[in-house]
Amino acid sequence: MTVTTSGQRRTPKVAKTNSVVKKVVMAVSGIIMILYLIAHMIGNLHAFQGAQAYNDYATWLRTFGEPALPKRTILTVIEVVLTVSVLAHMWAAFSLWYQAKRARPVGYVTKKAMAQSYASRTMRWGGVIILAFIVYHLLDMTTGTVNLAADKSEPFDRLVASFTNPWVTAFYVIALVLLGMHLRHGIWSATQTLGQSNRRRERTVNAAATSLSVLLIAGFLVVPLAIAIGALR
Ligand code: HEM
């Protein structure tokens, strides 16, 4: 931060460039994660084709690319890209927050600025809860460590074991709704950063961000809810 002759505070050019780079990192890593989520949500819908189809799909996830590539190659690449994206997203978020905090130790005064501050606070806490959800989710569905099904359970058994428990279902529902809110705001911010939005287009961008988030979360929610009400076993 520099102070000009008129007494106005101005952010130095290097700091501006720096924060634009971080915002681009957030947007690009966010888009990668959204693409994964779209594929994951569609994949989950195989549950409606029955246990065998779902388990076959889970096996295919680990074997696709074979025999040209060794087992799990493509899945491992996806896991590495996702891990890098999550870490980059967190690093950029933390670093932008820290930069803003240092530049503005006193806090906001205007109504608009307070609303922006509220949105970014919600994004930060939402992000922390979503991260906690991902850790729990991996222990639940991937390793089975916290799953209530037997040790050698198949992926479909794990779904049923989790979503016949109302507490686990409630946790998934809350995390998914938070994820939807996070995505809605995130998609909107990404379009601002990547220059796809202007005042005239803002309404369309907002509507598209909301529709995509609602569709994605609804697609995720149907599986746990169908199992919870006994419509899918
Ligand atoms: C109701 C919602 C969801 C269900 C039913 C579900 C189900 C599953 C299942 C069964 C697996 C294990 C697949 C296997 O190894 O055979 C899995 C893995 C995974 N899920 Fe989900 N998932 C849901 C939502 C989410 C969400 C919202 C996220 C991210 C925010 C997510 C991220 C992941 C990741 C990162 C993996 C590990 C992929 C891998 O490396 O194998 N899932 N999910």
pLDDT digit string, tens, across residues 18-67: 889 999 999 999 999 999 999 999 999 999 999 999 999 999 999 999 99
- What pTM did the predictor assign? 0.88
pLDDT value of residue 44: 97
In the structure, which protein residues have their CB atom closer than 6 angstroms to any atom of ligand 1?
Answer: 37, 40, 44, 58, 75, 79, 82, 130, 134, 137-138, 141-142, 155, 159, 172, 176, 179, 220, 223-224
The answer to whether the beta carbons of residues 11 and 103 sit under 8 Å apart is yes
pLDDT at 3 exceeding the cut of 60: no
Give the distance (Å) from ligand 1 centre to CA of residue 138.
7
Tell me which of 94 and 202 has the higher pLDDT.
94
Task: Give the model's confidence band at 215: pLDDT under 50 very low, under 70 low, under 90 confident, else very high.
Answer: very high
Q: Whose CA is nearest to atom 32 of ligand 1?
A: 134
* Mutational pocket test of ligand 1: of 81, 137, 164, 165, the residue with most ligand atoms within 8 Å of the beta carbon: 137
The answer to whether the beta carbons of residues 158 and 141 sit under 8 Å apart is yes
> Any idea of the CA torsion for 130, 131, 135, 136, to the nearest 10 degrees?
-30
Instruction: Quote the distance between the C-alpha of residue 81 and its chain's center.
Output: 14
Q: Whose CA is nearest to atom 2 of ligand 1?
A: 220
The total number of residues shown for the chain amounts to: 233
Q: Please give the mean pLDDT across all residues of the chain.
A: 88
Q: Whose CA is nearest to atom 1 of ligand 1?
A: 220
The answer to whether the beta carbons of residues 26 and 85 sit under 8 Å apart is no
pLDDT value of residue 232: 94
Give the distance (Å) from ligand 1 centre to CA of residue 110.
41
Q: Return the minimum-mean-pLDDT range out of 149-163, 182-196, 200-214.
A: 182-196
Give the distance (Å) from ligand 1 centre to CA of residue 19.
32
The answer to whether the beta carbons of residues 168 and 178 sit under 8 Å apart is no
**Average pLDDT estimate for 128-151:** 92
Domains of the chain and any CATH numbers = 2-228 (1.20.1300)
Q: Which of 112-116, 126-130, 220-224 has the highest mean pLDDT?
A: 220-224
Q: Whose CA is nearest to atom 19 of ligand 1?
A: 138
pLDDT at 233 exceeding the cut of 90: no
